[in-house]
Structure 1
Amino acid sequence: MPYYGPDEPYETIMLERYFLAGDVVVGLGFGVQAVLYVSCALFLWKRRKQNPISLFLLAYITLLLSIETIFVGVQANTVQMIYIDNRNYPGGPWQFFLDTQNLAVNVIFYATLFVLTFLSDILVLWRCWVIWTASGQVVAYIVTAFPAITLLASFVMGTLWTLQSSQPGLSFYSALPLAYGESYYAISLGVNIMLTILIILRLYMYRRRLLTSLPPEHARHYVSLATIVVESAALYSVFAILFLITYAVGHPTNQIFLGVASSTQQIAAYLIIYRLADGRAWKKTTLNTLPLSSMNFGNPPVCAESGTATHLGTSQLHSRANNGEKEEDKSTDEEV
């Protein structure tokens, strides 16, 4: 059968294939994020009177979804420009992509990707601070000081990467933008890995503490593997490492891992906020409001109807049992 493919190098054809595949991944991730947004928004709206921070988190996820919508839209428009509107461009579709990085649609693409990453990093930094605050605010500030400074460094490097990638004659894969991009993602990934390790370390320490005072089934409720994975945003770190490696070595699969990494980062943020909205996320007082030395193992803690892991002393549990209080605990600890 005669060859009807493009007259382009094999490497370029592979880049185009993975570019399209990455666009499909971005669309799939957007669908997951939209579902999680609706779930989180409903929870946060219902709890807006109980917890004022709910409105702030609702505004945060709305901003997150709005930027993600722009990101997906410009990605789709870029594909249309490359493969439909300019399919006969000299050198092929990929050459058109490389030659037009200064177009507004491409500038918006890099800017939205950068902003989404930064917003998600801030959320994980905040959660790390909250979890370590149980050991004291001074300890929390000391622990998160270096990651916070590193996050600011990633913001500066990301800004330079965005500006250089959208300059006329340069592209995502040009030498200077590539150097900035590798540095930016290395720093950003470093921040996430640090925060992930710090969160996992603190939760693991608490898990050991609980296992000495609670039956295993109760301890798992407070510090399960799912809790650790969600709270630490470990899902994003895995795919970010894969993207950084493939991007640094110039392998075309980096286009897929870029879409996966970006989507998983937003999904990780939604999962954290979902736990906050549902009342199951860790609070500033989680480690302090459960008097382990006086636990009555015969009467497990009563949970709110929404699944809130409310930490109550033994006397409070007996009081609730005798008075027949409603399941919805109006004295729920302030969620952060």
Structure 2
Amino acid sequence: MPLNNDTAALIGFACEAIGWGLYAVLFISSLVLILRRLRTHATNVPIVFFMCALFVLCTTHFALEFNHFYVVLGSTGVDGFANETKPLIGADILVSLCDLFGDFILLYRCWIVWERNYWVIILPALTAVAGFACIMEVAHIVVTLDHTAPVAPTALVPLGIAGYSLPLATNVIATTLIVSKLWWILRKAAQETLTGPFGAGRTIKNAVTIVIESGLLYLVAQLVLVVLFSLGHPAQAIIVPTTVQIYGIAPTLIIIRVALGISSEHTVRQIPTTVVSDWQVNVPRRPSLPAMRSGITEDTCEVDGQSAEMKAFSTSQVDFVGRAGV
């Protein structure tokens, strides 16, 4: 039996419900971690604002979908469940708004990784805003036409493709920039500690770090969305609501890693004093090595066989919930 729009919309709602539940747990966890760090770190207000705003937007989208699920199934049943309504048009706008806010967090991440270089993020920022503008125009035309079909009118498909492809371009550019920078710095860190870039478990650990911190999950979800929308496939009704929650989950995972002190910004490779600050690797140390404290830096060594992991909190570290002025 081929997939139809109504069935796809129901599956999409179920997937979004699962995604929102996962996102809610991650969001609450990130808030708890941030609050715990308030004793030693000032809060980065812009990032906390975008993080909270993104959660509110994703939750609002889920609430609109849940209301549609409850009202339509109770009145008409499954037939016509995927038909467009005014509340669903609002939900469609929220999809792109969530995408835009997620892009802003990803671009902030890129800006941090590239040492606050504004020139690096100008192009992806413009494509993100342009994509949102295209979707807003699609929504305006749909409202004007009083369109109720479950898919966009054929004449609007090119504009819709542009609206989703431009944020995809943002994701590709930002993810490529972050991946290249992280890979370079992790590789350099391994070389400077004289342990080699391919130590036991390091390749896998670095790969996980790069995938999570670059927002690669975000990129994959956006790519699938663009392909299905371009084809006009009913499965787009599954991926669209699911992607909304991924827009929130991907940056929240980055924030949690930073708050836990396991992101790349928290890493110290400082055996020689010339090493660039704040990147984390496993460094072979003697088991008897004690913790070292100074006025501005605290290094803690946890001994595990032949290696110890050093984590530093210094006045120069850069993160999402860093010290005042960051």
TM bucket (normalised to shorter chain) is 0.7 to 0.9
1:256, distance to aligned residue in structure 2 (A) = 1.3
For residue 93 of structure 1, the aligned residue among 71, 80, 93 is 80
Q: Name the structure 2 match of 1:15.
A: 5
Give the conservation status (yes or no) of the 8 Å contact 1:125–1:144: yes
Give the conservation status (yes or no) of the 8 Å contact 1:186–1:244: yes
Give the conservation status (yes or no) of the 8 Å contact 2:264–2:280: no
Q: Name the structure 1 match of 2:308.
A: none
Give the conservation status (yes or no) of the 8 Å contact 1:44–1:54: no
Matched, 1:184 2:168: no
Give the conservation status (yes or no) of the 8 Å contact 1:131–1:282: no
Structure possessing the higher relative contact order (Cα contacts under 8 Å, 6 or more residues apart): 2
Q: Name the structure 2 match of 1:4.
A: none
Distance in 2, Cα, partners of 1:60 & 1:277: 16
Q: Match of 1:181, as an amino acid?
A: G
Greater mean deviation of Cα atoms: 175-184 or 25-34: 175-184
1:200-253 residue CA offsets vs partner (Å, 9 max, x unmatched): 111122233223223144993997111101111101211221221111111111
Give the conservation status (yes or no) of the 8 Å contact 1:200–1:232: yes
Matches within 5 A, 1:282-301: 282-283=264-265, 290-291=269-270, 293-294=272-273
Q: Name the structure 2 match of 1:63.
A: 53
For residue 146 of structure 1, the aligned residue among 123, 133, 144 is 123
For residue 127 of structure 1, the aligned residue among 79, 103, 109 is 109
Give the conservation status (yes or no) of the 8 Å contact 2:189–2:269: no
Distance in 2, Cα, partners of 1:326 & 1:206: 20
For residue 199 of structure 1, the aligned residue among 156, 178, 195 is 178
Q: Which structure shows the bigger proportion of residues in strand conformation?
A: 2
For residue 245 of structure 2, the aligned residue among 250, 263, 274 is 263
Q: Which structure shows the bigger proportion of residues in helix conformation?
A: 1
1:108, distance to aligned residue in structure 2 (A) = 2.4
1:152, distance to aligned residue in structure 2 (A) = 2.2
Q: Name the structure 1 match of 2:41.
A: 51
Distance in 1, Cα, partners of 2:154 & 2:274: 61
**Higher Rg of the two aligned structures:** 1
Distance in 1, Cα, partners of 2:40 & 2:138: 42
**Structure 1 unaligned regions, length at least 5:** 1-9
Per the alignment, do residues 184 and 253 of structure 1 end up closer, same or farther by CA in structure 2, a change over 3 Å counting?
same
- CA RMSD of the aligned region, Å? 3.6
Distance in 2, Cα, partners of 1:26 & 1:330: 37
Distance in 2, Cα, partners of 1:111 & 1:61: 19
Greater mean deviation of Cα atoms: 248-257 or 222-231: 222-231
Aligned residue for 1:224, secondary structure, equals helix
The two structures have a TM-score, normalised by structure 1, of 0.76
Q: Match of 1:195, as an amino acid?
A: A
Per the alignment, do residues 330 and 117 of structure 1 end up closer, same or farther by CA in structure 2, a change over 3 Å counting?
closer
Matched, 1:225 2:215: no
Distance in 1, Cα, partners of 2:144 & 2:290: 67
Give the conservation status (yes or no) of the 8 Å contact 2:50–2:105: no
Give the conservation status (yes or no) of the 8 Å contact 1:240–1:257: no
What is the number of residues matched between the two proteins?
297
Q: Name the structure 2 match of 1:114.
A: 96
Give the conservation status (yes or no) of the 8 Å contact 1:207–1:223: no
Per the alignment, do residues 206 and 218 of structure 1 end up closer, same or farther by CA in structure 2, a change over 3 Å counting?
farther
